[in-house]
Structure 1
Amino acid sequence: MKAVCATDLSAASEATIESETCLECLGRVGVDEMHLVTVIPSNVHAGMPGMDFEGRRQRALERYRGVIESAGFDVETHVVRGTPHRRITGIATTVGAGITIVGSRGKSPLENRVIGSTARNLARTTETPLLVNRIEREAENPDVVREHLFQRMLYATDFSENADRAFEAFSYLRHATRETTLIHVETPKDPGLREGENPENRLGELAAQLEEWGIETRTELRRGDPADEILGAETTYEPTAILVGSRGHSRLRRLLLGSVSEDIVARADSNVLLIPPSRTA
């Protein structure tokens, strides 16, 4: 599997690259080729005196290449210009990546209301599974918050088609996952449940499939606001990653705040693995 790892060359974005445990986890789920991408924003001009932006970034990526190659991965580097989330998404599509990785320190409650971070924009527009690797928020030399990326999973489902698509990620995650909590938050209208269908039974069916793969599994049914309840379960079970499906990506949707998946990307303390709709959907 090919992975695109986006970096702005900051200390925070180096954390995943420098974590042997994170790289080992990626290898266990099938990643064998890494594409390192750094984007020079469009408003940074090449002609600014004394500023060799491309050269400096390429040299930095070459240092990262050595670390990742020594961990057993094939590595390609990309220094590009443009809008970060658009260029990252474009490269992931071009190379046929199976996952895109971006580091995020998370946001304060006030900052969560602001659109613009690369992680949040990628959450809205990505066409490949997106791993938001959570980095320590205020440390001078930050480290990843959860090194074992997929060891303890929290999978949230509304039983919709795209939630089912997210569950399919366990086909490769199971090689790195030891335990999983399956959670469904009941709302007045559950889009994926037929009338009279029992959500506990549906969770039980999913749990049985994971247990066949040797993954220790628990289920939990909650009521309330989906994002709040999923994040409440995160506090209870302290997963290394939350697995969730996103909705569609119409132009109108990209302008809207408040989707469950975006709330989780912005507010979770754990890593988040976001699975987008099928490209053919």
Structure 2
Amino acid sequence: MNILIDAAGLNARMASGQRTVVLDVRWKLGDPDGRSRYLEEHIPGAAYVDLPSELADPADPGRGRHPLPSRARFQEAARSWGISDGDTVVAYDDAGSTSAARVWWMLRNAGVRTVHLLDGGLAAWRAAGLPVEGGAVEPEAGNVTLTDGGMPVTDADGAASWAAGGVLLDARAAERYRGDVEPVDPRAGHIPGAVSAPTTANLDDDGRFLPAEELRKRFGALGVDTATPTAVYCGSGVTASHEIAALEIAGFAATLFPGSFSEWSNDASRPVATGDRPGE
């Protein structure tokens, strides 16, 4: 299945009346109020998805800053966005799909077969000269039945030993990986053995994903190949989902550590490495 859809493709689906649920997932670390920007303008018919309240449970030191919600909670939210069984879903944001990828991963994990990311997000839609609208959209409730386990996950113990037989990628900014700064989590640095692979390097200057061949080269240089198990974490499991999407575009499967560094760094028994190298 193609992960990405471009603005022309989405517009064609909508114009032809093909059943398409469009989700606006605008959210950024340090600037979480995407709803106000959504109310100003969004793709016509798009429902707003509030990442902190609908794509996560409340923060928990033992589970991270954005723990995955229960299947029942997520199903309730998905139905409120208008998703029914068999629907095609397209998610977008205004940050290179870095937040939209969270709902992409969660819906895929929950058994929704056809989920796309709008490549380039709202900026690409505007650049194509396509219309936007303001105000809130209140979709008719859907009937989707969600499952669980559609995407591989690991826990802190798995992350601790992952690098011994595979590649563990840290999707955060390089300065956070090195431990130069840590704006939100209790300790600075990275999980020992992890390789720095900032999510932003998956994108071009317009916020679109790099071509598959370029992504293959990028991840190959980091030690990723089809025979080596790959796992990804970030701060709280959000941008790691984006990295998993980029890996899939490149032809690689990857496992998510949902609690990510926010869970790891809250556990004083877990070691933290600093500097440019993976550490031990």
Same fold at TM > 0.5 = no
More strand per residue: 1
More helix per residue: 1
TM-score by length of 2: 0.28
